[in-house]
Amino acid sequence: MNTPSRPQTAFAPAWLSDAGGLRYHLRALRHRNGAWRPFRAQVARWLEAWAPPGRELALVGPSAGHTLPPAWFARFDRVTVFEPDPFARRWLARRLSASRLHFSSEDVLGGAHPLETLNALPDDCAILFCNVLGQVAPEAAERWHAPLRTRLGERDWASFHDVVSTDRPPRADAPDHACAEGSLEAILARFWSGGELPLVDHDTFQLDGSGSADYTLWHLRPGRFHLVEWVTHRSPSQKSGATA
């Protein structure tokens, strides 16, 4: 296990926030078995295909796990959770097996050296960012790309995150998901018809560097659509093990 070299930052409890909180839970109750169903199914497929090799997992920003498949977590002996919303933590503990969950009050996304203290986790502990990196910006950098590369390059991690969001409904023939590389414009064209697309850019496109990633739509609420990216990063030891 590595030792964190920076002081830890603790969460302020977040009952209401732009990235989650009570408003998000109410929305989840309303839509998780309706408009969110295709997105939840896609997240379940992504996780099933990821299969990190270790028996430990860290979850960053899982909320109450409204979009996560509970059964998938049974394979882990220990799950460390970084989530500032106290209500979400209780709900998550009921939804997943509470005995495996360990809640940390450390803000691993905050401070001048975000992500760095995640390296205090055991080396084989994989990290899953649960739709949080498109919601929270790093204090010390404009985007998450560089902190992920420099601080978590040696670890197994995966993330699903908002890339863009818009009020414009997607095209009727939009795919369930698209594994794609290339420009953001080319990927947007798979999901939305041509013409100018008014959007919020969440600054997370190709979060693990350029190359191929998987994309799907999340119909968050009536009239609001998110394009969500899935990327996985393998530690160098895993990569060399796979090719040996």
Ligand X SMILES: C[S@@+](CC[C@H](N)C(=O)[O-])C[C@H]1O[C@@H](n2cnc3c(N)ncnc32)[C@H](O)[C@@H]1O
**In this complex, which beta carbon is closest to ligand X, that of residue 161 or of residue 186?**
161
User: Taking contact as CB under 6 A, which single stretch among the options 19-27, 146-154, 180-188, 210-218 is the one that binds ligand X?
Assistant: 19-27
Work out which of 39, 47, 58, 85 binds ligand X, going by CB under 6 A: 85
The nearest distance, CB 64 to ligand X, in angstroms, is: 6
Task: Say whether residue 84 binds ligand X (CB under 6 A).
Answer: yes
Scan for tokens 């940390």, then name that residue. 104
Q: Does 57 bind ligand X (CB under 6 A)?
A: no
Geometric angle at alpha carbon 104, from 206 and 76, rounded to 5°? 70
Of the residues 132, 188, 217, 220, which one makes contact with ligand X according to CB under 6 A: 132
CB atoms near residue 37 (< 10 Å): 12
103's tokens: 């809640």
Q: How far is the CB of 61 from ligand X (least distance, A)?
A: 3
Tell me the two tokens of residue 127. 């990290």
Q: Does 62 bind ligand X (CB under 6 A)?
A: yes
Q: Report if residue 67 touches ligand X, rule: CB under 6 A.
A: yes
**Quick check: 199 binds ligand X (CB under 6 A)?**
no
Q: How far apart are CA 148 and CA 151, in angstroms?
A: 5
CB atoms within 10 A of CB 30: 13
Nearer to ligand X, 139 or 167 (CB): 139
Q: How far is the CB of 135 from ligand X (least distance, A)?
A: 5
* Binds ligand X (CB under 6 A): choice among 45, 107, 174, 178: 107
Residues found near ligand X in the complex (CB under 6 A): 14, 17, 19-20, 24, 28, 60-63, 65-68, 82-85, 88, 107, 109-110, 130-132, 135-136
